[in-house]
Chain A
Amino acid sequence: MLKRVHFGPSILPFLLVAPQIAVTLVFFMWPAGQALYQSMLVEDMFGLSTEFVWMDNFKELFNDRYYLGAFKRTAFFSFLVAGLAMSTALLLAAMVDRIVKGVFAYRTMLIWPYAVAPVIAGALWVFMFDPTLGIFAYALNTVGYDWNHKLNGGEAMFLVIAAATWKQIAYNFLFFVAAIQSIPKPLIEAAAIDGAGPLKRFWTIIFPLITPTMFFLLVVNIVYAFFDTFGIIHAITQGGPAKATEILVYKVWYDGAVAIDLGSSAAQSVILMAIVIVMTVVQFRYIERKVEY
């Protein structure tokens, strides 16, 4: 952690960490504390008086049908996005491993959605599926399917999952390619000499060896689906229709900014923070395990 050879005590190190610590204190610690405090307050309709209610906001949340619904929806959404983005990326990465020519070209063509902002990804997909004009809505219409994600909750969910997955494939792809490339070639060659075909080699050698990467990506993807998809949902469905696509992070924003229920919004923030902390700990556990390999 500290260098064996280092500088002695002086005022300088304090000055060096000061900017980082100041930003952390003012914009992280203090607001987080505020969220914690606010989560135990109830404000009346006009914001004239507040009352300290301990855990009531949390109790209310866990008895709230809509909140529990949002929880389930978020779990469904995250696992589908993580699963689809990871399996597509793994398939593409395994295919890249099989070819010799054009690897760079394919990689270049596959990674750019990473750079697209979630809201813009949302705008792209909402345009393609616009019920009156969209190219896919039109195609579906010609085969007799009446697409309208503005009215049908299931279709809205499909659309946000598709957009969120589309954006995340690039990231997973890069990590899978790196993981597959780091497998020692002699292992694969030995298996090939013993007569194992490509598919058998994939399942018995490559797949088990990249499970650490898969686990890492699973956590990252779930965190992504939990938090970074706000823009996608905001652009495509605004949580609708009838809250069919309202995930937790969207609800925090909605309850705070639109419904102005700050106590409940803060309590939801606190629950989300707890979820992030658990995931971060899980992720670090994984890194420790990786060191032993």
Chain B
Amino acid sequence: MIENRPLTTILAHLTLILGVAIVAFPIWITFVASTHEAVRMTQVPLPLWPGDQFFINLKTVLFDGVGSSGATPVWLMLGNSLIMAMMIAVGKIVISLLSAFAIVYFRFPFRMGFFWMIFITLMLPVEVRIFPTFKVVADLGMLNSYWGMTVPLIASATATFMFRQVFLTIPDEMLEAARVDGAGPMRFFWDILIPLSRTNIAALFVILFIYGWNQYLWPLLITTDTDYFTVVMGIKQMLEAAELAPDWHLIMMTALLAMLPPIIVVLSMQKMFVKGLTETEK
């Protein structure tokens, strides 16, 4: 604060409140919709204030699913989403740590060749190579499996770059000292590099968990078996069914459940999230 201008301060607060209102309104509407019963959700105007059906809807969605009988219960979809997000996040971090370690700490033939090969993955988002990649996965018999949903997404140039950057800032004396004490490469990796990059790993995990949880197009192609549906895909299926008979109260409850885990991760690890975002993108 440089000078005291009460008017501009009030204006600033008003603008921010307006901004928050715009940003939060869709989420409020979602919450409100998830607390009403089916009949209320077919009468215009729709409610703007919560009803009392929250837990009933929650139970229906979690255990019975949305739509006709035989619909996938949402707890199963949430489980699939969690498995997919964790596999992607952990997988990306592990293989990136290993390859960054190799590239920074070893002299070996084709080192730069490997580095550039990893770099290229940065340029090929899954959306642009979707069908050929799908074919590879199909040929490998990985359709309808957690491996098929995650492995093609776990190569990561950004994570490798970030760890490379982190390792480069670690003083050389660390390695010299470790060597004097007789530590081999893997010992050095486990006992020194990993503990030193702990905060970076946590920050990256937040970003990658959200990335993994929110995957849509890829699991949509890979899975036809409803047992593997993720909650993000489930929403789309429900919307299609909604063209005929909208169960908005249940759809919005599912949307709420689908948003919750990543939002909780972002809000509870806000500092890590901001750190992860600014470090991986630059």
Interface residues of A (CB under 8 A from B): 1-10, 12-14, 16-17, 19-21, 23-35, 38, 88, 91-92, 95-96, 98-100, 102, 106-121, 123-128, 130, 132-135, 138-139, 166, 169-171, 174-175, 178, 188-189, 192, 198, 216, 220, 227, 230-231, 234-235, 249, 252-253, 256-257, 262, 265-266, 269, 272-273, 276-277, 280, 287
Contact = CB atoms under 8 A, between A and B. Distances in A.
A20 B267 contact: no
A92 B15 contact: yes
Contacts of A14: 102, 108
B259 A120 contact: yes
Contacts of B130: 252-253, 256, 269
Contacts of B241: none
A120 B160 CA distance: 30
A35 B108 contact: no
Helix, strand, loop or mixed for chain A's interface?
helix
A249 B107 contact: no
Nearest to A290: B282
A92 B19 contact: yes
A106 B129 contact: no
Given A29-B120, A113-B23, A135-B46, A9 B5 contact: no
B44 A133 contact: yes
A98 B8 contact: yes
Kindly state the interface size class of chain B when it binds its partner. Answer: 35 or more
B266 A115 contact: yes
Interface in B75-118: 94-96, 98-99, 101-109, 111, 114, 117-118
B23 A166 contact: yes
Contacts of B221: 257
Nearest to A276: B123
29 contacts: A6-B107, A12-B186, A16-B102, A19-B94, A20-B95, A21-B114, A29-B120, A32-B124, A38-B132, A91-B15, A92-B16, A95-B15, A98-B12, A99-B9, A102-B16, A106-B16, A116-B259, A123-B251, A123-B252, A124-B26, A127-B30, A132-B44, A135-B45, A174-B277, A227-B125, A252-B128, A256-B130, A272-B128, A276-B128
B125 A276 contact: yes
A3 B188 CA distance: 14
Contacts of A132: 44
Given A124-B26, A231-B216, A34 B235 contact: no
Helix, strand, loop or mixed for chain B's interface?
helix
B38 interface: no
A31 B132 contact: yes
A12 B185 contact: yes
A206 B259 CA distance: 35
Interface in B171-227: 172, 175-176, 185-186, 210, 213-214, 216-217, 221
A214 B1 CA distance: 24
Given A28-B121, A124-B30, A227 B128 contact: yes
A99 B152 CA distance: 45
**Cβ-closest 6 pairs across A and B:** A31-B132, A117-B214, A115-B262, A13-B106, A16-B102, A34-B132
B131 interface: yes
Given A96-B16, A99-B16, A272-B128, A20 B172 contact: no
B232 A119 contact: yes
Contacts of A2: 103-104, 107, 111
A34 B16 CA distance: 49
A121 B29 CA distance: 12
A116 B12 contact: no
A9 B26 contact: no
A232 B185 CA distance: 46
Interface string B243-282: 0001010011001001100110111001001100110011
A250 to B, nearest CB: 10
